[in-house]
C-alpha cells in the first residue's frame, strides 16, 4: 500500500526511530477527505436520530397552535400548558407507582421463570422435552389479540381483575424470553454442569451457582427489553386495571385526553412516559446494544 | 452480594409484589349496599371538572338512595371497544356504560333495554330523532344524555383574506367558491380519506344530502352504489381534481396542527369539531353554518347515552341510577359542562348567546347518527379503500362504488 512504505532498515542509524514516509499529497488529501466525509455522515445520522426527540420536547412545550416548519421548531414561544394538564392529575403518582410495580415485578418474574425453563430445555433430559419446547415456542406464532380474551376470562374467573397479580401473572410466561435463555444456556459447556454434579451439587445449586452467574449478560439484556415492553404496554393494563387506582401511566394519561388530542398534549404525555424509560435505557445501555446485536430483538 | 442472596431477594420481592393482590381492585360494597359501576369516557375534556360532575351527581343520588353505591370510572377513548368487549366476555363488564349509537347494534345482545326504568314523561321528553337513534326493534338501548350536530364550520380569517363575505349553504356553493380560494392560495375545503376517520363525518353527509343511504331499507344489502352516492363521490373528486383540497389528506391524516386546516389555509370543514379548531383559528374566527344542502339538508350528529348491560348485578339499582343521571336537570348540567346539546325538549335552548354553538344547536333536528346496523363499521372498512382509489384516479367513481358494494355483500350474509 502506497501510504505505508517505510525506508529500508539499513538506510537509517540503529538508534534513530524509523521515519514514516510522507504520504503522497493526493492520498493524504483523500484520507482527510474520507475522515471528514465519515464524520459528516455520522453527524448527519446523529442529527437525524436526535431530531424526533428534539421535536417531541420542543413541540410539547408550545401553546396549542398550528405547526409550521421551521418556526415551530424554535424553542419559543414557551408554554407548559400541556404538562400542566398531563401531570396535573392528582392520581399521576399512583399511576407511576403502578407502572413501576407492573414493569419491575414482571421483569423479575420473567427473568426468573425464563432462566429456569431455559436451563431445563437446554441442559436437562426428560421425555417430551423437544415437543414441549416447540409447543411452547409455537406461542410466538399466535397473535396477542387472539389470546387476550381467553386470558382475561381465566384471570376474571380467578378474581384477578383490577389486581396487580392479574395484570402481572399472564405476562410471566414469555416464550421469546425462554427461547433466548435456552439458546444462551445451550452454548455453555456441558463439562461445567457435569463437574458440578460430580462435586455433589443439587439441581438448585447448579442453577444458582453455575447457571445464573454465567447468564448475567442475557439476563441484563432481556431485563431491559422486558422492562420496555411493560412500561409501554397499553391494552392489557387497560383491560385488567379497571379502576382509577389500578391505572398505569399509559392508560391513566390517555384517560385525561379528549378524543382528538392536541399535538402538544400528546407529546407532553409522550415525554412524561419517555423520561423514566430513557433513564432505564441509560443505565442498561450496554446490554441493550449487545442485545440488539446478538439477539436481533428490538424494543 | 452473592448470587444466592440476590436470588432470595428477588424471590421475596416477587412474592411480596404478587401478594399485594389485595391492594388493588374493588370488592363488593358494604354489607346491605348494592354497588353500581359505570364506565364513562372523557366527554368533559377537563378531567377535574368531569370527575367533579359525577362526584356531585353520585352524592345527590346516594342521599336519596342510601343503599346504592355508585362507582364511576373514566376510561380512555383509546381502545374502548376492546376493553369493553373483553370485560363483557369475562363477565367483568360495568353495570352501566356510555355508548353512542354507532356501538349500540354491536352490543345489542349484551344490553338491557332501559324503557321500563324510565318514566313515561321522561321518555316523551326526548326529541323524536334522538329516541329513534338509540332504539333497536322499538326498544331504547340507552338513556340519552347528550347530542351533537357536526355542522360545517368556516374560517372567517380565511374568508376575509380571500375577500369573500358570503358563506356557503350548499355543496354546490363550495364548488363555485373553490377557484377564487385556490387563486389566493387557500383551499375551499378538506376531505380526509384516511380510514382513521369515520365516514359518518366525511363522505356520508354528502351522500345523505344527495338522497342516498348506506344500507337498503331492510338492511340486507348496501345502497352506496346508488346514483346519489355516485353524485356525492363525483363532487369530492371534482374538489380533488381541481386542486381545491389538499390531496395528501386522502391517504394520510396527520394531527390537525400540521394540516392546512390548522394552519388557517382552509375555508370550511364539516368533519372537524369546534373544540378542535378553537385554539387554532381563534373562537372569534369560527363561523358555524347550517348543514349543507343538496336534495335535502342533513348532517351527522351523535347521541351519547347511558346503557345498562345485561350482566348488571342489580338491574333495579342500575336503572334508578340511569334515570337519575340522565334526568333533565343533570343532563343540562352535563351538556353545559361538555359543550354538547340536550337530547330533551324540556331543557330548552342551552346556548342562545353563543354565536357558534347556537347555530349547531339549531341543527340537532336535522342531524342523523348514521346507520344503526351491526355491520356499519365493517362496511366502512370496505368502502374506505374504494373511495381512496376513486379520488386518486385509480378507478372510476362508478367502478369504485360497485366494487365496494360487491366486497360488502359477504359481510351482510
Give the residue from B4, B8, B14, B25 with the most A CB atoms within 10 Å of its CB, the best one to mutate. B25
CA distance A293 to chain B (A): 27
For chain A, positions 108-167, list CB contacts with chain B under 8 A.
Answer: 108-109, 112, 148-149, 152-153, 155-157, 160-166
Residues of B in contact with A234 (CB under 8 A): 78-79
Q: Output the pLDDT for position B116.
A: 92
Q: Identify the residue with better confidence: A256 or B116.
A: B116
Rounded Cα gap, residues A164 and A246, in angstroms: 8
User: Which residues lie across from B34 on neighbouring strands?
Assistant: B68
The number of beta carbons lying within 10 Å of the beta carbon of residue B33 is 13
Residues of A in contact with B276 (CB under 8 A): 260
CA distance B31 to chain A (A): 19
Q: Do A255 and B75 touch (CB under 8 A)?
A: yes
Sheet containing strand B286-288, strands side by side: B268-269, B153-155, B286-288
Residue A31 C-beta-side C-alpha neighbours within 13 Å: 10
Of B151, B171, B168, nearest to B231 (Cα)? B171
What pTM did the predictor assign? 0.79
For chain A, positions 5-34, list CB contacts with chain B under 8 A.
Answer: none
Of A198, A220, A222, nearest to A210 (Cα)? A198
Question: Chain B within 8 Å of A4 (Cβ-Cβ)?
Answer: no
Q: What is the pLDDT of residues B188-220, one digit of tens each?
A: 999 999 887 889 999 999 999 999 999 998 889
Question: Chain B within 8 Å of A199 (Cβ-Cβ)?
Answer: no
Average pLDDT over residues A158-181: 92
- Using CA atoms, how far residue B336 sits from B161, B343, B350, in Å, is 34, 12, 7
- Residue carrying C-alpha cell 426428560: A126
User: Which residues lie across from B40 on neighbouring strands?
Assistant: B74
Torsion over CA: B249, B254, B256, B259 (sign): negative
CA distance B304 to chain A (A): 14
Q: Do B273 and A260 touch (CB under 8 A)?
A: yes
Q: Retrieve residue B238's grid coordinates.
A: 371534482
In total, the C-beta contacts within 8 angstroms joining chain A to chain B are 152
Q: Output the pLDDT for position A116.
A: 95
Residue A274 C-beta-side C-alpha neighbours within 13 Å: 12
Q: What is the pLDDT of residues A61-71, one digit of tens each?
A: 988 887 777 88
Chain B: residue nearest A111 by CA?
B10
Give the residue from B78, B194, B246, B309 with the most A CB atoms within 10 Å of its CB, the best one to mutate. B78
Query: Judging by beta carbons within 10 Å of its beta carbon (0-12, 13-18, 19+), is residue A153 exposed, middle or buried?
Result: middle
Q: Output the pLDDT for position B27.
A: 39
Ranking A33-37, A159-163, A289-293 by mean pLDDT, the lowest is: A289-293
Residues of A in contact with B257 (CB under 8 A): 64-67, 262-263
Q: Output the pLDDT for position B3.
A: 44
Residues of A in contact with B42 (CB under 8 A): 255-259
Q: What is the pLDDT of residues A83-116, one digit of tens each?
A: 887 776 667 788 889 999 999 999 999 999 999 9
Question: Chain B within 8 Å of A213 (Cβ-Cβ)?
Answer: yes
Q: Do residues B152 and B268 touch, judged by C-beta distance below 8 A?
A: yes
Nearest 10 degrees: Cα torsion A131, A133, A135, A140 = -160
Q: Output the pLDDT for position B1.
A: 42
Q: What is the pLDDT of residues B49-68, one digit of tens each?
A: 899 999 999 999 999 999 99
Average pLDDT over residues A237-244: 90
Query: Judging by beta carbons within 10 Å of its beta carbon (0-12, 13-18, 19+), is residue A57 exposed, middle or buried?
Result: middle
Q: For chain B, how big is the Rg over CA atoms in Å?
A: 24
Q: Report the run of H or E that residue B299 belongs to, with start and end.
A: strand B299-300
Residues of A in contact with B21 (CB under 8 A): 160, 163-166
Is the peptide bond preceding residue B159 cis, with omega within 30 degrees of 0?
no
Nearest to B262 among A67, A162, A254 (CB): A67
Q: Identify the residue with better confidence: A285 or B367.
A: B367
Chain A: residue nearest B277 by CA?
A65
Q: Do B17 and A242 touch (CB under 8 A)?
A: no
Q: Do B25 and A246 touch (CB under 8 A)?
A: yes
Q: Output the pLDDT for position B90.
A: 87
- Using CA atoms, how far residue B130 sits from B37, B271, B307, B362, in Å, is 25, 21, 14, 14
Question: Chain B within 8 Å of A258 (Cβ-Cβ)?
Answer: yes
Give the residue from B44, B58, B90 with the most A CB atoms within 10 Å of its CB, the best one to mutate. B90
Rounded Cα gap, residues B42 and B51, in angstroms: 9
Nearest 10 degrees: Cα torsion A119, A125, A128, A129 = 20
Q: Output the pLDDT for position B203.
A: 95
Would you give the distance in Å from CA B102 to the centre of its chain?
8
Q: Average pLDDT over chain B, rounded to whole? A: 89
Residues of B in contact with A104 (CB under 8 A): 17
CA distance B398 to chain A (A): 33
Q: Do residues A157 and A174 touch, judged by C-beta distance below 8 A?
A: no
Q: How confident is the model at residue A17 (pLDDT cuts 50, 70, 90)?
A: low
CA distance B72 to chain A (A): 9
Rounded Cα gap, residues A215 and A211, in angstroms: 6
Q: Output the pLDDT for position B161.
A: 97
Rounded Cα gap, residues A263 and A153, in angstroms: 36
Give the residue from A113, A165, A167, A247 with the most B CB atoms within 10 Å of its CB, the best one to mutate. A165
Three-state secondary-structure class, residue B266: strand
Q: Do residues B93 and B311 touch, judged by C-beta distance below 8 A?
A: yes
Q: For chain A, how big is the Rg over CA atoms in Å?
A: 27
Nearest to B264 among A66, A160, A243 (CB): A66
Residues of A in contact with B77 (CB under 8 A): 254, 257-259
User: Which one-letter DSSP state was computed for residue A77?
Assistant: S
Q: Do A168 and B78 touch (CB under 8 A)?
A: no
Q: Do B17 and A169 touch (CB under 8 A)?
A: no
Report the relative pairing of strands B367-368 and B299-300 from DSSP bridges: parallel
Three-state secondary-structure class, residue B222: strand
Q: Which residues of chain B have pLDDT under 70?
A: 1-31
Q: Do A245 and B75 touch (CB under 8 A)?
A: no
Chain A: residue nearest B22 by CA?
A163
Q: Retrieve residue B141's grid coordinates.
A: 338501548
Cβ-count burial A94-115 (b if 16+ within 10 Å, e if not): bbbebbbbbbbbbbbbbbbbbb
CA distance B10 to chain A (A): 7
Q: Do B26 and A162 touch (CB under 8 A)?
A: yes
CA distance A38 to chain B (A): 34
Q: Output the pLDDT for position B70.
A: 96
B79 backbone φψ class: left, alpha, beta (φ>0; ψ -120 to 50): left
Question: Any alpha helices (H) in B118-223, and if so which ranges?
Answer: 120-124, 128-133, 156-162, 171-183, 204-209
Rounded Cα gap, residues A119 and A217, in angstroms: 15
Of B381, B385, B145, B83, nearest to A251 (Cα)? B83
B77 backbone φψ class: left, alpha, beta (φ>0; ψ -120 to 50): alpha
Torsion over CA: B333, B334, B339, B340 (sign): negative
Question: Any alpha helices (H) in A199-262, and if so which ranges?
Answer: 203-205, 212-214, 216-232, 235-240, 249-254
Give the residue from A62, A66, A209 with the most B CB atoms within 10 Å of its CB, the best one to mutate. A66
The interface predicted TM-score (ipTM) is 0.73
Q: Which residues contact B20 (CB under 8 A, 6 or more apart)?
A: A101, A164, A165
Query: Judging by beta carbons within 10 Å of its beta carbon (0-12, 13-18, 19+), is residue A14 exposed, middle or buried?
Result: exposed
Amino acid at each position: 500500500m502506497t501510504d505505508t512504505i517505510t525506508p529500508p532498515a539499513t538506510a537509517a542509524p540503529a538508534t534513530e526511530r524509523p521515519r514514516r514516509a510522507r504520504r503522497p499529497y493526493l492520498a493524504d488529501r483523500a484520507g482527510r477527505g474520507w475522515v471528514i466525509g465519515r464524520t459528516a455522515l455520522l453527524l448527519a445520522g446523529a442529527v437525524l436520530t436526535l431530531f424526533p426527540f428534539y421535536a417531541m420536547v420542543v413541540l410539547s412545550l408550545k401553546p396549542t397552535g398550528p405547526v409550521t416548519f421551521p418556526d415551530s421548531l424554535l424553542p419559543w414561544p414557551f408554554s407548559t400548558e400541556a404538562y400542566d394538564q398531563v401531570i396535573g392529575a392528582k392520581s399521576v403518582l399512583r399511576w407511576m407507582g403502578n407502572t413501576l410495580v407492573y414493569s419491575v415485578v414482571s421483569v423479575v418474574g420473567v427473568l426468573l421463570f425464563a432462566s429456569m425453563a431455559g436451563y431445563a430445555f437446554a441442559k436437562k433430559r426428560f421425555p417430551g422435552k423437544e415437543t414441549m419446547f416447540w409447543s411452547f415456542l409455537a406461542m410466538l406464532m399466535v397473535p396477542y389479540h387472539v389470546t387476550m380474551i381467553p386470558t382475561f376470562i381465566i384471570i376474571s374467573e380467578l378474581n384477578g381483575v383490577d389486581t396487580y397479580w392479574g395484570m402481572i401473572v399472564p405476562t410471566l410466561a414469555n416464550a421469546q424470553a425462554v427461547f433466548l435463555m435456552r439458546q444462551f444456556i445451550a452454548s455453555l459447556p456441558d463439562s461445567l454442569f457435569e463437574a458440578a454434579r460430580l462435586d455433589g451439587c443439587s439441581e438448585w445449586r447448579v442453577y444458582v451457582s453455575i447457571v445464573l452467574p454465567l447468564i448475567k449478560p442475557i439476563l441484563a439484556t432481556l431485563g431491559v427489553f422486558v422492562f420496555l415492553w411493560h412500561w409501554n404496554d397499553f391494552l392489557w393494563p387497560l383491560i385488567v386495571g379497571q379502576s382509577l387506582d389500578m391505572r398505569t401511566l399509559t392508560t391513566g394519561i390517555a384517560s385525561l385526553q379528549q378524543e382528538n388530542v392536541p399535538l402538544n398534549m400528546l407529546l407532553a404525555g409522550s415525554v412524561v412516559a419517555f423520561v423514566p424509560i430513557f433513564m432505564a435505557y441509560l443505565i442498561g445501555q450496554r446490554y441493550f446494544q449487545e442485545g440488539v446485536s446478538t439477539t436481533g430483538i428490538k424494543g | 452480594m452473592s448470587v444466592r442472596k440476590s436470588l432470595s431477594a428477588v424471590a421475596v420481592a416477587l412474592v411480596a409484589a404478587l401478594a399485594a393482590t389485595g391492594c388493588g381492585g374493588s370488592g363488593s360494597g358494604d354489607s346491605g349496599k348494592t354497588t353500581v359501576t359505570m364506565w364513562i369516557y372523557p366527554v368533559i375534556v377537563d378531567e377535574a371538572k368531569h370527575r367533579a360532575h359525577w362526584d356531585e351527581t353520585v352524592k345527590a343520588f346516594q342521599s336519596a338512595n342510601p343503599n346504592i353505591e355508585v362507582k364511576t370510572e373514566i376510561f380512555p377513548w383509546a381502545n374502548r371497544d376492546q376493553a369493553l368487549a373483553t370485560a363483557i366476555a369475562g363477565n367483568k363488564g360495568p353495570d352501566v356504560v356510555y355508548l353512542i349509537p354507532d356501538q349500540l347494534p354491536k352490543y345489542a345482545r349484551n344490553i338491557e333495554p332501559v324503557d321500563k326504568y324510565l318514566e313515561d314523561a321522561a321518555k316523551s321528553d326526548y326529541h323524536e330523532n334522538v329516541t329513534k337513534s338509540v332504539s333497536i326493534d322499538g326498544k331504547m338501548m340507552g338513556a340519552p344524555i347528550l347530542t351533537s350536530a357536526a355542522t360545517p364550520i368556516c374560517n372567517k380569517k380565511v374568508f376575509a383574506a380571500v375577500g369573500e363575505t358570503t358563506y356557503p349553504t350548499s355543496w354546490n356553493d363550495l364548488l363555485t367558491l373553490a377557484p377564487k380560494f385556490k387563486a389566493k392560495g387557500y383551499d375551499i375545503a378538506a376531505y380526509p380519506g384516511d380510514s382513521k376517520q369515520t365516514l359518518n363525518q366525511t363522505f356520508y353527509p354528502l351522500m345523505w344530502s344527495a338522497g342516498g343511504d348506506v344500507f337498503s331499507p331492510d338492511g340486507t344489502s348496501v345502497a352506496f352504489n346508488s346514483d346519489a352516492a355516485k353524485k356525492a363521490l363525483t363532487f369530492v373528486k371534482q374538489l380533488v381534481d381541481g386542486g381545491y383540497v389538499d390531496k395528501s389528506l386522502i391517504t394520510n391524516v396527520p394531527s390537525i396542527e400540521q394540516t392546512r386546516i390548522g394552519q388557517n389555509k382552509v375555508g370550511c370543514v364539516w368533519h372537524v369539531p369546534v373544540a378542535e379548531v378553537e385554539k387554532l383559528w381563534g373562537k372569534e374566527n369560527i363561523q358555524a353554518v347550517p348543514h349543507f344542502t343538496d336534495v335535502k339538508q342533513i348532517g351527522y350528529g351523535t347521541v351519547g347515552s347511558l346503557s345498562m348491560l345485561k350482566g348488571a348485578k342489580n338491574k333495579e339499582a342500575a336503572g334508578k341510577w340511569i334515570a337519575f343521571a340522565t334526568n333533565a336537570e343533570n343532563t343540562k348540567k352535563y351538556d353545559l359542562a361538555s359543550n354538547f346539546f340536550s337530547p330533551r325538549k324540556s331543557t330548552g335552548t342551552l346556548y342562545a348567546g353563543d354565536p357558534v354553538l347556537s347555530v349547531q344547536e339549531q341543527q340537532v333536528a336535522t342531524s342523523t347518527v348514521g346507520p344503526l346496523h351491526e355491520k356499519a363499521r365493517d362496511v366502512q372498512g370496505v368502502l374506505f379503500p374504494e373511495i381512496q382509489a376513486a379520488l386518486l384516479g385509480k378507478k372510476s367513481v362508478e367502478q369504485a362504488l360497485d366494487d365496494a358494494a360487491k366486497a360488502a355483500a359477504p359481510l351482510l350474509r
